[in-house]
Chain A
Amino acid sequence: MRSKLTVRLIALLFFLLPFLSIAGEKGTETDIKSEIKAYIQHHLEDTYDFGFYSYTTDEGVHKYKGFPLPVILWDNGLQVFSSSKLHHGESVAHVGDAYYKLDHGKLYKTDAEGTINYDEYHHATNVKPLDFSITKNVFTIMMVSLLLLIVFSRMAKKYKTSALPSGVARILEPIVLYVRDDIAIPNIGKKHYKRYMSYLLTVFFFIWTINLLGLTPLGINVTNNIAVTFCLALLTYLITTFTAKKDYWMHIFWMPGVPKLMRLVLAPIELLGTLIKPFSLMIRLYANITAGHIVLMSLIGLMFIFKSWLGSSLSFVLAFGLGILELLVAALQAYIFTMLSALYFGSAVEEHDHDHAH
């Protein structure tokens, strides 16, 4: 009886929602919508400085809170300068005798006035110097790698004196054992799994930590970057290819137990399959995390569109629920990536018994 009442109440609230939002400020609505869109877009991009938050003062001045990171360019010689010189794209950085300016988050070489020329598709035609900058993503990857290195090497050292886990190892030991006993051994096999354990553990904890950091208010989003997931997938591909045994290649180019003519058809398909596997690894991680971030930020953005206590509380409840779901997704994506990597390694080292056709 009570649950029926609750459902009715919620339905009524939903019905009232549009009226309540009209009661708020009018006119600036489309402005706010495009602002939220731009904000989400900005969040998904890599930046040259590590920003925590930004706001506009009453006088219309943009204020940014965060710290600058080094910009490293190769432009007829090495150019190193702090990203604070770029002023978030608001002014031209003068380094040596060259000028650089940010346009839509990308760095271009300009003249002293900072002119950026566009072609008919509104793409900048200015020269783009070779960019090796320590951007926000690079910085985060370095920090996470350092953190994992310190935590795990300290943990490993303690096992030399006693077999009992202590400190943080009490939480992490079951996870490490899970990766070994439930991911590596069933997929790769008892004979070969040890060679791959270091990679599987590293990739699992790296993706998991970075995904979790993406849910903090720091605004980190490393696995939203397709270049990062591309590199992770490339590692899996290279390890699969270079540790593969004879049987793996035979099953690609000359599938046993299949009619001769069929083998010729199967070979290109199988060869393409070896490329599609890491490609799907890359897309899966990237798209899952990106979609999660976009939906989460859109839900928070609802608060600014509705501008009423009802819309805000609805937005809060939805965002809170989705935030908890994203915690699960963060771990699940790390698990899936590790699991599928182990599966591919397993197929690479598998040894078949060819006495009987299969």
Chain B
Amino acid sequence: MEIPSIVGAGLIVIGAGLGIGRIGGSAMEAIARQPEASGKIQTAMLIAAALIEGIGFAALFAG
């Protein structure tokens, strides 16, 4: 049986969602622990989230 490519895309998007969720959660914890570093943490969080998001969108287009 052939699995449609959209299923793979869906799996990757689930993975990307979990990944971005983890990044967001960890950033929250880090900010709570060190509020004075929140600016740097936010920047790093956004970059990491954007990179993962790129993979998610690439998967969507391939699917």
Contact = CB atoms under 8 A, between A and B. Distances in A.
A336 B39 CA distance: 15
B30 interface: no
For the complex, would chain A's binding face be called helix, strand, loop or mixed by DSSP majority?
helix
A182 B38 CA distance: 13
Interface stretch (A52-60, A96-104, A122-130, A279-287): A279-287
B43 interface: yes
Interface residues of A, number: 13
Interface of B: 39, 43, 46-47, 50-51, 53-55, 57-58, 60-61
A185 interface: no
8 contacts: A182-B43, A186-B43, A283-B58, A284-B50, A284-B53, A287-B60, A287-B61, A288-B57
A325 to B, nearest CB: 15
B interface, by DSSP: helix, strand, loop or mixed?
A: helix
Nearest to B55: A280
Contacts of A332: 46
A335 B47 CA distance: 10
A182 B44 CA distance: 12
Interface string A322-343: 0000000000100110011001
Contacts of B53: 284, 288
B43 A339 contact: yes
Given A283-B58, A284-B54, A287-B57, 16 more contacts: A182-B43, A186-B43, A280-B54, A280-B55, A283-B54, A283-B57, A284-B50, A284-B57, A288-B53, A288-B57, A336-B46, A336-B50, A339-B43, A339-B46, A339-B47, A340-B47
Contacts of B57: 283-284, 287-288
Contact of B47 (A280, A283, A288, A343): A343
A343 B39 CA distance: 17
A283 B46 contact: no
Contacts of A340: 47, 50
Contacts of A284: 50, 53-54, 57
Nearest to B54: A280
Contacts of A287: 57, 60-61
Contacts of A186: 43
Interface string A106-129: 000000000000000000000000
Contacts of A182: 39, 43
Nearest to A183: B43
Nearest to A343: B47
A60 B51 CA distance: 49
Contacts of A280: 51, 54-55, 58
Interface in A273-328: 280, 283-284, 287-288
Contacts of A288: 53, 57
Contacts of B58: 280, 283
Interface string A214-226: 0000000000000
B45 to A, nearest CB: 12
Nearest to B49: A336
A284 B56 CA distance: 9
Nearest to A290: B57
A148 to B, nearest CB: 24
A146 to B, nearest CB: 30
A328 B58 CA distance: 22
Name which of A284, A288, A339 has the most chain B CB atoms within 10 A of its CB.
Answer: A284
A152 B49 CA distance: 32
A336 B54 CA distance: 11
A133 B43 CA distance: 40
Nearest to A226: B61
Nearest to B39: A182
A332 B47 CA distance: 11
A343 B51 CA distance: 12
